[in-house]
Amino acid sequence: MKKVRVRFAPSPTGGLHLGGVRTALFNYLFAHQHKGTFVLRVEDTDQSRFVEGAEQYIWDCLDWCGILPDEAPLLPGDTGPYRQSERKEIYMQYAKQLVDSGHAYYAFDTTKEIEDLRDSLKAQGESEWQYGFHTRHRMRNSLTLPKAETDALLGANFPHVIRLKVEGNEFVRFTDMIRGEIEMSTNTVDDKVLMKADGMPTYHLAVVVDDYLMKITNSFRGEEWLPSAPVHVLLWKYFGWEKEMPEWAHLPLILKPDGNGKLSKRDGERLGFPVFAMQWKDASGNTIDGFKELGFLHEAFINMLALLGWNDGTEQEIFSLQELVDKFSMDRVHSHGAKFDFEKAKWFNHEWIKKSGMQRLAPDVKEIFRKNNIAISDEKKFEQVIELVKDRCTLLTDFVEQAKFFFVAPAEIETSAILPKWNSDKNQFFAELISLYSRMKLWDLVDIEHAFKELAGASRLKPGELMLPFRVFLVGGKFGPGVFDIASMIGKEETIKRITFGMTGLK
RNA sequence: GGCGCGUUGGUCAAGGGGUUAAGACGCCUCCCUUUCACGGAGGAAUCACGGGUUCGAAUCCCGUACGUGCUACCA
């Protein structure tokens, strides 16, 4: 039975971004493929960084994507609590266990002391300094101080942290499901802080303790964690839990489209595309739209995300969530990052809109119409309109431009498109067309077109030259589906009304 | 600087010793369509570099370059 978990650290700077959703997605796919469990944890380690409502927001995003976890802060399971702040005592207990077994120690050096030391060494030309194997004997900690003094400091509640004692001159080896065997020297691993002075754990301690307690079998996270993986492997070893250590997989990074670095929350604004799944209100009250608000179908969003760093080796690019569950495999995930391409993301959405039926599209389009104050007079007509125009909509919001005129007469007519070629013959034609159409008893697509072309022939005018003005009268510009489809759909009275109105604008 | 991970068209990528080096996005041309799309046909464009190993290397090995990540009492 597989069990995976994803952790998110809500912060005032941002909502759930592309990389976060993709990590959640891969966890979801893997868990469901193995009929396992998918757990979500929220890291509120530092109260100053925690944002109220962030859990709900993450939940809503995953809900929209259709990849809700089986256990989460908002849906507790057997291994809660899921908020880090509610687990403080647990972490402290395990940290002390490590001190007792000689794999960790108390350190009393203040942040300022360490910073000063770094600065002075830098001034002397020493490039980098790390608290670790080579330096810990010169610092103020329970390893260098007499036991009585350590106890006194601890008793007086002197600010201190607990650091991992990394043994030097060893090699840490572990297997990454994507990259294979990885080996690193412990000499480059520093003595990471495990418990902070405020009594909260760091990620390093929390992730290991939680994964052990929650019986996590597979740990997937971003590639940025690869350099600290040895710390975690060492922790599993020092705790004596080696046999229960999860399999690791470090997911490739999502990079900026214009190169140079991983995609960040600010890039969206800079380059004009969303980086969040859903709208996010930041700490200063600004709202930033996500893929949902921009008009993405969640099917397209997760499809696009899954293909960013993975493919099944065939030419297939469009996958439903179920197909992804069936076909996903971690060993086909790439070991290198991919630049995010918004054009390709839109292509996925276009494909999904084309492939989705009216039933799927109608509720979303209705919501968008409501926001744009477009009243849907006729349900049946609305459904037909969706089928008629969906091929030309890349985003759901495109339905406004492509379908609005079926329900609301255009407020403005793009006369500049027809004015240069407008003449009295054409004026005459449309005047006659109005009376011809008014006399029609049935308003049938074939008859509308037939009558139009017949009259054009009788007037010795080319139908082609007349169809553009007709189109512009009906929709307001040079766009939309076939003109006669539109006329048939909006009805006889409305067609005549729009021609009449359009002609007055040309005088 | 140190350490890790990577490198196939502009982008996403298949391919893992012998291929005309797939496919997709974007771009261009044409067809269809009396608008715009959709659809169809075609085009330009690629194995980072240098050494090995081999009859033969995009593919295996080494080096270099470049990219990227980490190097916090952030995650």
Mode of pairing for the β-strands spanning A193-195 and A161-164: antiparallel
What are φ and ψ of residue A183, in 5° steps? Answer: -130, 135
- Among the listed residues A286, A359, A266, the one whose alpha carbon sits nearest the alpha carbon of residue A17: A266
More confident residue, A15 or A239: A239
Is the minimum distance from the CB of A175 to strand B below 7 Å? no
ω into A81 cis (within 30 of 0) = yes
Report the 10 Å Cβ neighbour count for A479. 14
Instruction: Supply the mean pLDDT for chain A.
Output: 92
pLDDT (mean) for A206-214: 96
pLDDT tops 60 at residue A185: yes
pLDDT tops 60 at residue A48: no
What are φ and ψ of residue A415, in 5° steps? Answer: -65, -25
pLDDT tops 60 at residue A12: no
pLDDT number for residue A75: 81
pLDDT tens digits for range A18-34: 999 999 999 999 999 99
A259 CA to B44 C1', in Å? 24
Is the minimum distance from the CB of A78 to strand B below 7 Å? no
- Among the listed residues A487, A475, A479, the one whose alpha carbon sits nearest the alpha carbon of residue A436: A487
Is the minimum distance from the CB of A255 to strand B below 7 Å? yes
A491 CA to B44 C1', in Å? 48
Protein contacts on strand B: list nucleotides below 7 Å from a Cβ.
Answer: 1-8, 10-15, 22-26, 33-39, 67-75
pLDDT number for residue A490: 93
Report the 10 Å Cβ neighbour count for A269. 12
pLDDT (mean) for A179-186: 92
pLDDT tops 70 at residue A47: no
Residue A251 pLDDT class (50, 70, 90 cuts) = very high
The C-alpha atoms of residue A436 and residue A422 are separated, in whole angstroms, by: 21
pLDDT (mean) for A158-175: 94
Is the minimum distance from the CB of A228 to strand B below 7 Å? yes
Is the minimum distance from the CB of A195 to strand B below 7 Å? no
- Under DSSP, the state recorded for A315 is S
- At position A457, the amino acid (one-letter code) is G
pLDDT (mean) for A130-144: 92
pLDDT tens digits for range A276-308: 999 988 777 788 999 999 999 999 999 999 999
- In the structure encoding, which two tokens stand for residue A125, read together? 């030309």
Place of tokens 């101080």: A145
pLDDT number for residue A482: 93
- Under DSSP, the state recorded for A269 is H
- Under DSSP, the state recorded for A202 is P
What are φ and ψ of residue A205, in 5° steps? Answer: -70, -45
pLDDT number for residue A82: 81
- In the structure encoding, which two tokens stand for residue A218, read together? 């597979």
Is the minimum distance from the CB of A341 to strand B below 7 Å? yes
Catalytic residue among A215, A265, A381, A492: A265
Q: Please give the nucleotide, over all strands, whose C1' is closest to the CA of residue A113.
A: B73
pLDDT tens digits for range A391-409: 999 999 999 999 999 999 9
pLDDT tops 90 at residue A69: yes
pLDDT number for residue A155: 95
The C-alpha atoms of residue A26 and residue A35 are separated, in whole angstroms, by: 14
- Among the listed residues A274, A292, A167, A146, the one whose alpha carbon sits nearest the alpha carbon of residue A230: A167
Residue A49 pLDDT class (50, 70, 90 cuts) = low
A492 among known catalytic residues = no
pLDDT number for residue A10: 73
The C-alpha atoms of residue A38 and residue A437 are separated, in whole angstroms, by: 63
The percentage of chain A sitting over the pLDDT mark of 90, rounded to a whole number, equals 74
- Alpha helix segments (H runs only) across A295-444: 298-306, 321-327, 342-355, 358-371, 379-389, 398-403, 424-439
pLDDT (mean) for A100-123: 90
Report the 10 Å Cβ neighbour count for A74. 15
pLDDT tens digits for range A421-437: 898 999 999 999 999 99
pLDDT tens digits for range A307-326: 999 999 999 999 999 999 99
- Among the listed residues A89, A116, A114, A92, the one whose alpha carbon sits nearest the alpha carbon of residue A104: A92
